[in-house]
Structure 1
Amino acid sequence: MAGNWLSWLRPKDESAAPMGMYISPYVSIKNVNLEPQDALKNPTVFACVNVLAETVSQMPWSTVDATKAGFAPVDHDLNKLLRRPNSSMTRVEFKKKIVSDLMVYGNVYLLKIMTSQGRVTELVPFDPPKIKCTISMSGARTFHHEGGRTYSEREIIHIRDFISLDVTGLSRVEQAAELIVQANTLDSNLTRSTRDSSKLSGVISVAESVPPEQAAAFTADWKKKYGGDVTLLGGGATYTPMTKSSPADSETQELTKLEIARIASIFRVPSAFLELYDGSKYSNLSQKNSSFYRDSISPLTKNISEKLSQALITDPDKEIAFDPTELTKGDLAATTKIANESFNAGILTLNEARNLAGYSAVDGGDKFVEAPKSPEPTSHNDYDANSTGQYGPRTSEGYSNE
């Protein structure tokens, strides 16, 4: 068979490379070694860590009176340190660093810069991979920096996330490494599927028989010219396109959502906060935020505040705490309604109610109002419905409508 009919397939540049590289969907993910910092390249991991770090970093913190309910700030020398933890970081950056290290590595190491009198003037975070923590037979911990210096427990504040029998906290990323690699593999396959969806692939049949070497040359030239895979068969000069999967396929979408939800559950971030509907129903923003604070943020901030309090405060009546007011009060309409009802019921003063709703205090607004008394219940023995549907006092002769 003449080979000149194949010439229309041949690229002008015979050295043209195939369009893209094939990524095998069959990747072994058993016993994978995933470096924690590399896990942040996964979009879901990055989003979860960012949501938690951003949320906590925006929450005010202060030294408070531990004997009082709620967030009760007090004047304390430690507040200056909380406002500016060190010379190179703002308090927002500092809190972000704590949360991100805790989520990714499972450990936070803060070096206490102290005066000769023992007063802490700065808190400097170390990168967790650079610290090796060991424990002696007596239970004392030491922290060896890869730079060569070894620190004692007096010098380092060690905050752990998930605590097991080990001296260090468990990394959520390391515990979920296989799941994260599986999600990365899915993303790679979706990228390949999207790229390949524009390539022409299928089956071409011709009338005459085709020698194997010419069929191989034909398919090779087709791939160079169009990037797709084609099969050359004998029989009727037709082109049958191959159906390819795409990211828009329902099965692909559901699998992607499942992977996102599974990773998000490890970090206790509701899928709704990643703009992915997971079936959860919230009547309003207040309920959504309250659930997120109770299940995700509160355990995280409590762990951080208790560890800092233990390391920095000696007074048992004082502690470091985060203020959850802005996170839990929800939308303005619901908050204003609660503030108004609490004021009318005598639970809050006017200024406390205004503060809850985000308004400034007013003169004379620090007094409680007397809650209205409930009306006396009406006895059914004295009132009943008459035949006309009207009510009146019952008498021996019938009903009076007076």
Structure 2
Amino acid sequence: MNLLKRWFGAKASRTPNPSASYQDAGGGIAITTSDQLEEALRTGGATASGATVTPNKALNTSAVYASVRIISGAVANMPLQLKRKVDERTREDASDHPLGVVLRRKPNRWQTPSQFRRMMQAHLLLRGNAYAMIVRSVGKIKELVPLHPDQVECTQNDDLQLEYSYTRKDGRKIKLPQSEVFHLVGLTLDGVHGVSPIAYARESIGLALSMENHGATTFKNSARVSSVLSHPGKLGPEGLAFLRTSLDDYRSGGESEGKALILEEGMDVKPLAMTAEDAQWLQSREFSRVDIAMFMGVPPSMLGDNSGSDSNWGTGLEQKSLGFVAYTLEDWLTTWEESIGRDLIAADDLETYARFNRAALVKGDLKTRWEAYVKGLQWGVYSPDEVRALEDLNPRPDGLGGQYYDPPNTAGNSETKKDDGDEPSKPA
């Protein structure tokens, strides 16, 4: 652990590097290259709507926050198992592998496995990359220390090996070889760096932020009136002051809540219907939510949009859930499994691999889960003890839980076989 103290626990440098440690108050990214500096000077993350969009600010949008929460929560809560390949058709549990303790019990000294996976997946969704430093002792992995993507720069050397530069809070840079970094990569265009979804969805998110600010300002300042008071003549200063005081008391609520407004001097009130601008504003908010859902790969109904705009995902909750698992979640699960095999399992260990238990996705659906178990038992896929293990139960105490049932209607069963030329046996 002295390595961790040397990298993360040393005293602050007296002359920090401002170009490496600079970040804006909203999070932003560290300015490490001339291209990043030029982009920051030209736009600073600004959009055509006028809103500045960074990964942290994007979370202020309900659709972005909900998408990140749903996807990262699914990855965090799904059981992650280590398996060992015995032969071409046989697999066994490999929880005794040293990596099993790190992945399933204690990734580091302050995080639980679900916290670690949720944070890494959130980094992956918001920035396209997620990093963790691999801490080894006597050749075995002891910890995975998460590194913020904004403080990590990944480069590929001439020998095609990757090298990572981590910028500490005091501005000092630490070089890490590829063997010491667990790197999750999202959609990539160069095979090295993940593409940030926020960068491409910036205009949609900026529009959503601008509309939310517009709505909040409207309600704060009461800019949109719901009715008009008309006077048959001219209202004097004293009458105007009295009317303004009466309206302020009426709008303040309290004892006036629900009471009628009394008008004097022949005044009349005319209600105003919703304007076309108001209706367009509501429609734009719905469109913005659907647009962000498309970028993040989440059915709009899972984000609270029940307008029927996600019919392509299916016609029922079950079909939409299956579409979300097949076309969105499966991509991230595969990324985790293959990255673990590449970075955390020794290259000469060809038998051990990581696998998410996707059957846990139907844990909350008791009917579907048990229907699947029954079919698995009938067709000899599962034994009773294997079903009990999936439910976290002990084997059958009578010792008969390990047997497999013969599939029904199987051709060539004992009822159709001949015995030394005799007639086929008939069922009793």
Residue number in structure 2 paired with 1:20: none
Q: Which residue pairs with 1:50 in the alignment?
A: 69
Q: 1:124-179 CA distances to partner (integer Å, 9 max, x unpaired)?
A: 01111111222333323322222322222122222211101274211111110110
Q: In structure 1, what is the Cα distance between the partners aligned to 2:337 and 2:193?
A: 18
The answer (yes or no) to whether the contact 1:293–1:328 under 8 Å persists in 2 is: no
Q: Aligned equivalents of 2:142 and 2:235: distance in 1?
A: 86
In the alignment, which of 296, 300, 324 is matched to residue 267 of structure 1?
A: 296
Q: How far does residue 114 in structure 1 lie from its aligned partner after superposition? A: 2.0
Deviations 1:358-398 (A, max 9, x none): 765323111112233379xxxxxxxxxxxxxxxxxxxxxxx
Counterpart of 1:111, as a letter, is M
The answer to whether residue 168 in structure 2 is matched with residue 136 in structure 1 is no
Structure 1 segment 231-242 matched on structure 2, within 5 A: 240=270, 242=272
Name which of 63, 86, 100 aligns with 2:108. 86
Share of identical aligned residues, percent? 21
1:339 to 1:28, Cα distance in 2 relative to 1, 3 A = closer
For the residue of structure 1 that corresponds to 2:93, the secondary structure is: coil
Does structure 1 residue 347 correspond to structure 2 residue 381?
yes
Change (3 A) 1:357 1:153: closer
Code of the residue aligned with 2:67 in structure 1: it is: C
What is the alpha-carbon distance in structure 1 between the residues aligned to residue 148 and residue 374 of structure 2?
A: 48
Instruction: Give the direction of change, closer, same or farther, for the CA distance of 1:321–1:31 in structure 2 (3 Å limit).
Output: farther
| Equivalent in the alignment of 1:258 | 287
Q: Hey, which of these two has a bigger chunk of helix by percent?
A: 2
Structure 1 segments unaligned to the other structure (5+ residues): 1-26, 229-235, 376-402
1:311, distance to aligned residue in structure 2 (A): 1.1
Q: Secondary structure at the match of 2:350?
A: coil
The residue aligned with 2:11 is: none
Q: Deviations over 1:86-137 (max 9, x none)?
A: 111111111011100000111111111122x432211101111111222333
Residue 325 of structure 1: CA displacement? 1.5
Measure the CA separation in 2 of the matches of 1:63 and 1:342.
23
Aligned residues: 333
Of structures 1 and 2, the larger Rg is shown by 1
- Structure-1 separation of matches of 2:324 and 2:392: 21
Partner of 2:39: none
Query: Helix, strand or coil for the counterpart of 1:321?
Result: strand
Is 1:29 aligned with 2:48?
Answer: yes
Greater alpha carbon shift after TM alignment, 254-263 vs 95-104: 254-263
1:86·1:124 contact (CA, 8 Å) conserved in 2? yes
Is 2:210 the counterpart of 1:185?
Answer: yes
Q: In structure 2, what residue type is equivalent to 1:105? A: R
* 1:320 maps onto 2:354 in alignment: yes
Runs of at least 5 residues in structure 2 that lack an aligned partner in the other structure: 1-45, 252-265, 412-428
Name the CA shift for 1:106/1:359 in 2 (closer, same or farther; >3 Å).
same
Deviations 1:194-215 (A, max 9, x none): 44277576475665799xxx9x
In the aligned structure 1, how far is the partner of 2:410 from the partner of 2:273?
72
With over 3 angstroms needed to count, the CA separation of the structure-2 counterparts of 1:299 and 1:208, relative to structure 1, is closer
TM-superposed deviation, 1:85: 0.9
Q: Identify the range of structure 1 (154-163 vs 322-331) with the bigger mean alpha-carbon deviation.
A: 322-331
| Pairing partner for 2:326 from 280, 283, 294 | 294
- Distance across 2 between alignment mates of 1:53 and 1:168: 20
Which residue, 108, 112, 121 being the options, matches 2:142?
121
Residue 140 to residue 349, structure 1, CA distance change in 2 (3 Å) = closer
Secondary structure at 1:366 match in 2: coil
Is the 8 Å Cα contact of residues 71 and 321 (structure 1) preserved in structure 2? no
> Residue 33 and residue 152 in structure 1: after superposition, are their counterparts in 2 closer, same or farther (change >3 A)?
farther
Q: 1:296 to 1:330 in 2, by over 3 A?
A: farther
Q: Secondary structure at the match of 1:124?
A: strand
CA distance in 2: counterparts of 1:294 and 1:167, whole angstroms: 25
Whole-Å separation in 2 of the counterparts to 1:283 and 1:176:
28
2:188 match: 163
